[in-house]
Structure formats: C-alpha cells, structure tokens
Amino acid sequence: MTEIRDIEVVVFDVLGTLVDEPDGIGGAIREALPDADQARVDDLVALWQRHVEGEQARIARGERAYATTEVIDAEAAHAVAERAGIADAGVIARLATAGQRLAPWEDTVAGLERLAWHFPIIGLSNAGRAALLRLSAFAGLRFHQALSSESAGAYKPAPEVYRLALDAAGCAPDRVLMVAAHAWDLRGAQACGMRTAYIGRAVGDPPKDTDTFDGHFDGLEALTLALIAE
C-alpha cells in the first residue's frame, strides 16, 4: 500500500471518478428510447460523448467561446434525438439534464464520508455550477466545497481550473492531493504542483508507463487507508 504523507486538502474530480457518467447517460437514453437494444444505446452514448469532448476541445483551442456543460449537454441531447428520431420536446429536455443524474460508484459515498472526517474535501469538476449542484445532491456527494470549471471559464486540464482548488485550499500546492480516474486530469494537476492519486475506474483514462503519480489505488477505501495510515 502506498502511503501519501503531508497532505492538507484532498481534491476530487467528479465525472467518472466519483460517478459513473457513461452509465448515467445510457440510462437517460434508455428512458427516452425504452425499446432500444443495448447496441443502439451504446452507439448513442458514444455520439453524446464525442460531441461533449469535441466541443470542449474546440473551446480549449479557442475555436469556440466558453459554454457550460448544461449548454453542451443540451446540444448532445439534440444530436442524440436527431439520430434516434426523438421529436418530443419534453423528452429531449429531460435527456439534456442526464448529466445531473449520475449514480455514484459503490465506494464513493462511504469513501467521501470517511475522508471528510480527516481532510477538507473539494470537488473540482468540469460540470457547470448548476449541474454540479444538482449532480452532487442526486449522488449524495459530500464535499466541504464544490468548485466548477465554469468559474474559470475553461475546462480541465487548463491550469486556471486547478488554481481554483489551490486558491480555495490556501496552502502550498504540494500539500494538495488531486484524485482522479483520468490520467490526463492528473497530469494537469501535476503541472500545477499538486500531488496526484489515480483511482482505477472502468470508464477512466489509465496512466501510461511514463506517468509518475504519487499513488495508484483500486478504490476509495485503499486511498483512505493510505492517507490516514498511522
């Protein structure tokens, strides 16, 4: 077990790390298309994800002004509706809020609760402020502070997003631990001087051999034991 010492504040990515984003989007699509088979749902989830990732990349390149996840998710919902032949405006509107109804991983709620007795916990998410509020309530996520990349007008891994967490933490970057299931996210945090811990999730972005994160864990229980080990 890797022990990570001298940490004052723990920062968590949310989408994919604490909640199962693809399954939540898939569930909303199944609700909108109850007769669709799994292959069709998977195809539509992939379409949704391609749109979101593509638009966030365009924003990062300066090809589009910043838009919140609520806006981009609504665009993704309309793309899915067009592909699937959904015309009901109410169904499309509910589908657009799918990203606010994502279930936590089985170790998330208890893991956050336990860690919160030992460290200040910050959620740092690419989800927009309103979406993050509703998602945190839906999934039962316990943070001492929840920060949206919307406050920086950018998406991770832009350094200004991590600086939101560092400013809130009020301590040296190397005493702040960024936890994520996405290696690209941890690289961004590492570039800002933060310590890093990778959590393995089925939907994450695994580290490469060249990554040098402070810890690799298979879940929040192992991370908690490493952080509070006597």
Inside any domain, residue 126: yes
Q: Is the pTM of this model over 0.75?
A: yes
Query: Do both 47 and 13 map to the same domain?
Result: no
Query: Do both 155 and 214 map to the same domain?
Result: yes
Token duo for residue 76: 């993704």
- CATH (domain of 127): 3.40.50.1000
pLDDT of residue 4: 86
CA angle (120, 122, 127) in 5-degree steps: 170
Strand partners, 215: 197
Inside any domain, residue 158: yes
Domain region containing 150: 9-20+102-228
Q: Under a CB-based contact definition with an 8 Å cutoff, are residues 144 and 121 in contact? A: yes
Query: Do both 118 and 186 map to the same domain?
Result: yes
* Total domains in the fold of the chain: 2
Q: Name the strands in the sheet holding 9-12, side by side, starting at the edge strand that comes first in the sequence.
A: 145-148, 121-125, 9-12, 176-180, 195-199, 215-217
pLDDT of residue 204: 85
Which of the residues in the chain have pLDDT under 50?
230
195 burial level (CB within 10 Å; 0-12, 13-18, 19+)? buried
Backbone angles phi, psi at 62, to 5 degrees: 80, 15
Q: Which residues of 114-150 are buried (b: 16+ CB within 10 A; e: fewer)?
A: bbeeebbbbbbbbbbbebbebbbeebebbbeebbbbb
What would the pLDDT profile of 13-65 be if each residue is shown by its tens digit? 999 999 999 999 999 999 999 999 999 999 999 999 999 999 999 999 999 99
The radius of gyration of the chain's CA atoms, rounded to the nearest angstrom, is 18
